[in-house]
Structure 1
Amino acid sequence: MIAKKLAAEKAVEYIQDGMVVGLGSGSTATWAIKALGEKVNAGLHIQCVASSVASENLAKQYGISLVDFSALSDIDITIDGADEVDAQCNLIKGGGGALLREKILAYNSRQFIVVVDDSKLVHTLGKFPLPVEIVPFAAELTLKQLRNLGCETSIRQKDGKNFVTDNGNLIADCFFNQIEVPELLNINILLIPGVVEGGLFLHPKVNRVIVGHADGSLHFMKGDKKE
């Protein structure tokens, strides 16, 4: 917990007065939202957009100003977590089920900063099941096509029912074990009719990864370089 908290607090240091900030989802993003709330209450003036209803509600709780997407042309910085990060700063995201909205924010941000603890670092992506958001219509056919890519997959469940995203879609959790060429897999997933978005976030859109360690230290990754 301390590692995530420190990484999130470091990411918040990049936020400057007057910025438009994208708020990610999940446990690490929660620490960033809390840290931002403290800065807002101390006088920082920012506008925020959130990638999930949960993050939106948390931001309101901490007094953070939220704006409608229609009022924006772009986003200065988005801060979010990840489920896996490889050495090239490719990510798996979507463990919380908000991958579509998270990717929209990341794509439209001048800077996309990812905060993780060191347990999320991997040599090759794939141990964590890759989430893929799909439409409910003919979901079994979409699952069949995903399986043809070499994975086992099933619809995510919550409380004995299909998990439904904030967009009214389903999440297919795909177990690849190893994803050797994430760029190619991402293309093949997105070509399947019924797929809305995949949980592979590729390194060109990842500007910085801040990694927290249990001993309180941090290290930084950017592209294929470590700082």
Structure 2
Amino acid sequence: MKHAITQHVKDNQFIGLGSGRAMTCLVRELGKKTFKKNLKFVVTSLQIGIEAEKAGLFVLDAPQTEQIDIVFDGADQIDANLFMIKGGGGALLREKILMYSARKVIILADSSKFVDQFTRSVPIEVSPFARTTVYRNLIGIGAQIELRQSATGYPYFTDNGNIIFDASFTFILNPEALEKELTCIPGIVEVGIFTRRADRYYKASSEGLFSIIAFRKDGPYVISP
């Protein structure tokens, strides 16, 4: 966390914050920095917004007209091509909006999130009005569907008022093609497959060490910290 902040956070930046445990730790580190009053933040979830305000960070409600300088986020899985599955925390729509709005994107994840091929379900944000139609379309392309529920057993609603289907596919051989196919289904608001690569991926080990990974034409490569 400290290395990512030191290397990438500069005075007077407009910073986007994703969701999850990695972001909670990052926010607490940012709150310790003496330059924090020179920074502005936009967050993707209420949880991180509350943590940021506790840390004394200046949080805006929306990106407004300014381009975001840098976005920090986590990931549920990262494959061998550095594509990602995100949305386990339910903020996939806002996370993707921030990612496409930023000059630079930094992903923070532990080594267990890095896999050769995706093995987990894909979160899909759906308009409640289109629930049945989307369900049938997803079944039609071979997906197994679970409606995400809250701890009380009721449907989980995102901060945007939508529901989430967690869709399992036998194999995801072409994430880019699947992302495009899913977003073409009417009623699907956003898909938790992220095929726009980040600028840097921080891969943390259980021993507290980390490596930095980036992508070039011939594939991923490791940058020494």
User: How many residues of Structure 1 are paired with residues of Structure 2 in the alignment?
Assistant: 216
Instruction: Name which of 102, 106, 127 aligns with 1:135.
Output: 127
How much does 1:146 deviate?
1.4
Alpha-carbon separation, structure 2, partners of 1:160 and 1:138 = 21
Contact in 2 for aligned 1:9/1:31 (Cα 8 Å): no
Query: Amino acid of the residue matched to residue 154 of structure 1?
Result: E
Unaligned segments of structure 1, at least 5 residues: 1-7
How much does 1:217 deviate?
1.4
Secondary structure of residue in 2 paired with 1:138: helix
How much does 1:169 deviate?
0.1
TM-score, normalising length: structure 1: 0.91
Alpha-carbon separation, structure 1, partners of 2:35 and 2:102 = 23
Alpha-carbon separation, structure 2, partners of 1:220 and 1:104 = 24
Runs of 4+ in 1 over 3 A off after TM superposition: none
How much does 1:148 deviate?
2.0
Alpha-carbon separation, structure 2, partners of 1:25 and 1:69 = 15
Alpha-carbon separation, structure 2, partners of 1:130 and 1:71 = 29
How much does 1:70 deviate?
5.5
Secondary structure of residue in 2 paired with 1:162: coil
Bigger Cα displacement from structure 2, 170-179 vs 81-90: 170-179
What is the match of residue 85 of structure 2?
A: 92
What is the match of residue 26 of structure 1?
A: 20
What is the match of residue 5 of structure 1?
A: none
Secondary structure of residue in 1 paired with 2:60: coil
- Residues 1:16 and 2:19 are matched in the alignment: no
Alpha-carbon separation, structure 2, partners of 1:177 and 1:115 = 27
Identity %: 36
Deviations 1:131-180 (A, max 9, x none): 00000013022011112222101210112000000000000000114211
Secondary structure of residue in 2 paired with 1:147: helix
Contact in 2 for aligned 1:130/1:173 (Cα 8 Å): yes
Alpha-carbon separation, structure 2, partners of 1:129 and 1:70 = 29
How much does 1:9 deviate?
3.2
Alpha-carbon separation, structure 1, partners of 2:201 and 2:138 = 29
Contact in 1 for aligned 2:83/2:197 (Cα 8 Å): no
Bigger Cα displacement from structure 2, 168-177 vs 141-150: 141-150
The CA RMSD measured in Å over matched residues stands at 1.3
Alpha-carbon separation, structure 1, partners of 2:2 and 2:135 = 39
Of structures 1 and 2, the one scoring higher in RCO (CA 8 A, sep 6+) is 1
Contact in 1 for aligned 2:125/2:162 (Cα 8 Å): yes
Instruction: Name which of 29, 32, 41 aligns with 1:35.
Output: 29
What is the match of residue 64 of structure 1?
A: 57
Bigger Cα displacement from structure 2, 98-107 vs 141-150: 141-150
Alpha-carbon separation, structure 2, partners of 1:186 and 1:79 = 22
Alpha-carbon separation, structure 2, partners of 1:70 and 1:160 = 33
What is the match of residue 117 of structure 2?
A: 124
How much does 1:71 deviate?
3.6
Distance 1:70 1:206, change over 3 A: closer
Query: Amino acid of the residue matched to residue 220 of structure 2?
Result: K
Alpha-carbon separation, structure 1, partners of 2:63 and 2:204 = 35
Contact in 2 for aligned 1:97/1:165 (Cα 8 Å): yes
Alpha-carbon separation, structure 2, partners of 1:51 and 1:68 = 10
How much does 1:30 deviate?
0.9
Contact in 1 for aligned 2:214/2:220 (Cα 8 Å): yes
Contact in 2 for aligned 1:151/1:174 (Cα 8 Å): yes
What is the match of residue 79 of structure 1?
A: 72
Unaligned segments of structure 2, at least 5 residues: none
How much does 1:46 deviate?
0.6
Secondary structure of residue in 2 paired with 1:157: coil
TM-score, normalising length: structure 2: 0.92
- Residues 1:106 and 2:99 are matched in the alignment: yes
